[in-house]
Structure 1
Amino acid sequence: MRLLHTSDWHIGRSLHGTDLLAEQEAVLGGLAQVVTAESVDVVLVAGDVYDRAVPSADAQAVLDRVVQRLRRAGAEVVLTPGNHDSARRLGTFSGLLAAAGLHVRATVAGLDEPVLLSDEHGEVAVYGLPYLEPEIVRGELGVTGARSQEAVLAAAMERVRADLVLRPRTRSVVLAHTFVGGGMSSESERDICVGGVDRVPVSVFDGVDYVALGHLHRPQTLTERLRYSGSPLAYSFGEAGQQKQAWLVDLDATGLAGVRAVPLPVPRPLVVLTGTLEELLADPAHDGAVEAFVSARLTDAVRPTDPMRRLQARFPHCAHLEWTGSGRVSDGRSYTERLAGRGDLDVVGEFVSHVRARVGPTQAERDLLARALGAAAHEEASG
Structure 2
Amino acid sequence: MRALHTSDWHVGRTFHGADLLADQEFVLDRLAAVVADESVDVVLVSGDVYDRAVPSAEAVRVATTALGKIREAGAQLVITPGNHDSAARLGAFEEFAAAGGLHLRTRVDRLHEPILLADEHGPVACYGIPYLEPEPARHALGVPEAKGHTGVLTEAMRRIREDLARRPPGTRSVVLAHAFVTGGAGSDSERTIAVGGVEQVPGSVFDGVDYVALGHLHGPQRLAEHLRYSGSPLAYSFSEATHRKSVWLVDFDARGLAEVRRHELPVPRRLATLTGRLGELLEDPAHAEREDDYLSVTLTDTVRPVDAMRKLRDRFPHAVHLDWQPEGGAGSAALRYAAQTKGRSDEQIAHSFLADCRGAEPNDRERVLLRTALETAGKGENP
Question: The TM-score by the shorter chain falls in which range?
Answer: over 0.9
Query: What is aligned with 1:56?
Result: 56
Query: What is aligned with 1:72?
Result: 72
TM-superposition CA deviations, 1:283-339 (whole Å, max 9, x none): 122111111111111111111111100110011111111111132144x88422322
1:80-91 map, 5 Å: 80-91=80-91
1:34 to 2:66 alignment: no
Query: What is aligned with 1:97?
Result: 97
1:310 to 2:299 alignment: no
1:338 to 2:354 alignment: no
- Equivalences, count: 379
Is the Cα–Cα contact under 8 Å of residues 148 and 195 in structure 2 kept in the other structure?
no
1:184-195 map, 5 Å: 184-194=185-195
Is the Cα–Cα contact under 8 Å of residues 13 and 20 in structure 1 kept in the other structure?
yes
Which has the larger displacement, 56-65 or 163-172?
163-172
Is the Cα–Cα contact under 8 Å of residues 14 and 20 in structure 2 kept in the other structure?
yes
The 2-side partners of 1:248 and 1:89 are apart by 28
1:110 to 2:110 alignment: yes
Query: What is aligned with 1:207?
Result: 208
Which has the larger displacement, 85-94 or 133-142?
133-142
The 2-side partners of 1:329 and 1:161 are apart by 55
Aligned residue for 2:140, secondary structure, equals coil
Residue 109 of structure 1 deviates from its aligned partner by 1.1
Aligned residue for 2:200, secondary structure, equals coil
Query: What is aligned with 2:272?
Result: 271
TM-superposition CA deviations, 1:36-76 (whole Å, max 9, x none): 11111111100011001000000000011101110111010
The 1-side partners of 2:263 and 2:234 are apart by 14
Identity %: 59
TM-superposition CA deviations, 1:71-116 (whole Å, max 9, x none): 1110101110000000000000011111111111000111111111
The 2-side partners of 1:340 and 1:53 are apart by 50
Is the Cα–Cα contact under 8 Å of residues 241 and 269 in structure 1 kept in the other structure?
no
Is the Cα–Cα contact under 8 Å of residues 331 and 358 in structure 2 kept in the other structure?
no
Counterpart of 1:90 in structure 2: which amino acid? L
Is the Cα–Cα contact under 8 Å of residues 108 and 130 in structure 1 kept in the other structure?
yes
Residue 255 of structure 1 deviates from its aligned partner by 0.2
Query: What is aligned with 1:356?
Result: 358
TM-superposition CA deviations, 1:220-249 (whole Å, max 9, x none): 111100000000000001111311010000
Counterpart of 1:92 in structure 2: which amino acid? A
Residue 379 of structure 1 deviates from its aligned partner by 1.0
CA spacing shift, 1:185–1:108, aligned 2, 3 Å:
same
The 1-side partners of 2:207 and 2:299 are apart by 50
Provide TM-score, normalisation by structure 1. Answer: 0.96
Cα RMSD, aligned residues only: 1.5
1:198 to 2:199 alignment: yes
- For structure 1, the 5+ residue unaligned runs are none
The 1-side partners of 2:4 and 2:35 are apart by 8
The 2-side partners of 1:79 and 1:329 are apart by 47
The 2-side partners of 1:96 and 1:333 are apart by 61
Counterpart of 1:287 in structure 2: which amino acid? A
- For structure 2, the 5+ residue unaligned runs are none
Query: What is aligned with 1:328?
Result: 331
CA spacing shift, 1:374–1:200, aligned 2, 3 Å:
same
Provide TM-score, normalisation by structure 2. Answer: 0.96
